[in-house]
Amino acid sequence: MTITHKEIIIIGGGLAGLSLSILCARSGFAVLVLEKADYPRQKVCGEYISQESLPFLEDLGIPIQEMSLPFINEFKLTSRHGISGSCSLTPGGIGLSRFTLDKLLFDLAVKAGVEIKTNYKVNDITFVNNQYVINQSLADGFSCNLAVGSYGRVSGLSGANKNSQNYIGVKYHVSEGPADNVIEIHHFRGGYCGISKVENDAYCLCYLAKASDFKKSGGDIANFEKRVLSENGYLQKHLSVKRLETKETTSNFTFGINARTNEIDYPLLGDASGFIPPLTGNGMSLAFRSAKTFHEHLLQNFRKGKREQLLQANQTYIQGYLKKRIDKGILLQNILLANIPLFQPVLLGAVCMFPGLLKTMSKQAVGEEI
């Protein structure tokens, strides 16, 4: 058995992991990223990036201004009751697919000197003799001075939140959609669907539904879309257009801070630390923010040997700023999905009739510039 030693190992090469790896490599650290899949790939994601993230992405080296991406500054909400309303979206954002974004970040990481090992699954992380040991039971294990968990919301490493409600997510890229500057959210029984433009004249159509409702359609996506989603006439039109790729699906996820963060003796980033409802459109921005925030804490503590201070700073961020953002997102989603007779049509009617109220609600999901 061979154990290879590295300075910093990041487990998971998603948005948070790759962003952190770039920052660390540029700060002079030797970094290894262990990723269970390969690049590039499609992912279930709304593919809307809030304005709060754009300066950070440009600092990383992503040429946002040169890519002619759709800038989205208007929001439209519809319901299955035939109600619709719209408002300006402040501060707005851009549309960019995960396929393209992940590849851009991957290339920047390699250029910065990050070593990336793909198709590598991490089974265990332990802290022994003042160092982290990864996959000690395998022939190609690793040790490092610092291990960072950025492996997303689904992993056997840290477990997952357990509650009474699980959800499924489905994403398509389609050939038609709303105006380039508009993001639409379409409400249906027990869920909602977002659609907005991304690069290359494609549109991301991505929806969230309760797993319990999906099971009532026999677990058949086409049947579920016909029986439930198409009750919203606005959404039915979007579902009938040409699909550019096969669907991407994900399941068995819940929202909130990872309940085991206090039990884990390595820092957590991105969805591994907490998962926000996609209704807010800020999951990607929170991944970027976690990378930048943790990098700042790392510079203050890591080479001074202050591991406990680094872990505490990470916990303070998770239980403070991140929890506040996620709790707001859960509240907004619960309001939209509340299963109370007459409540939804009355609420959605009020929101759609008064654009100022809709705008106020949409602004609750946005953070300050990263």
In sequence order, what are the beta bridge partners of 204? 173, 196
- All structural domains of the chain: 2-363 (3.50.50.60)
pLDDT at 7: 97
Task: Write the pLDDT tens digit of every residue in 62-91.
Answer: 999 999 999 999 999 998 888 888 888 888
Dist CA 4 CA 167 (whole Å): 39
Using pLDDT thresholds of 50, 70 and 90, give the confidence band for residue 341: low
Task: Write the pLDDT tens digit of every residue in 38-66.
Answer: 999 999 999 999 999 999 999 999 999 99
Dist CA 167 CA 334 (whole Å): 13
Task: Write the pLDDT tens digit of every residue in 226-247.
Answer: 999 999 999 999 999 999 999 9
Task: Write the pLDDT tens digit of every residue in 159-213.
Answer: 555 555 789 999 999 999 999 999 999 999 999 999 999 999 999 999 999 999 9
Using pLDDT thresholds of 50, 70 and 90, give the confidence band for residue 357: low
Dist CA 37 CA 118 (whole Å): 6
pLDDT at 317: 97
Using pLDDT thresholds of 50, 70 and 90, give the confidence band for residue 361: low
Q: Is the distance from CB of 327 to CB of 255 less than 8 angstroms?
A: no
Structure tokens at 367: 């953070």
pLDDT at 320: 97
> Would you report the helix, strand and coil content of the chain in percent, each value rounded to 5?
40, 25, 35
Element housing 265 (H / E) = none
> Considering only CA atoms, which of 14, 5, 4, 9 is closest in space to residue 33?
9
pLDDT at 367: 78
Residue 30 has pLDDT above 80, yes or no: yes
Dist CA 196 CA 211 (whole Å): 24
In the block, residue with structure tokens 């700023």: 321
DSSP assignment of 111-125 equals HHT-EEE-S-----E
> Hey, which bits of the chain come out as E strands?
2-11, 31-34, 48-50, 71-78, 84-95, 115-117, 125-128, 131-134, 140-149, 167-174, 182-188, 191-197, 203-210, 248-253, 256-257, 274-275
Task: Write the pLDDT tens digit of every residue in 300-312.
Answer: 999 888 999 999 9
Element housing 81 (H / E) = none
Mean pLDDT (the chain) is 91
Q: Is the distance from CB of 228 to CB of 193 less than 8 angstroms?
A: no
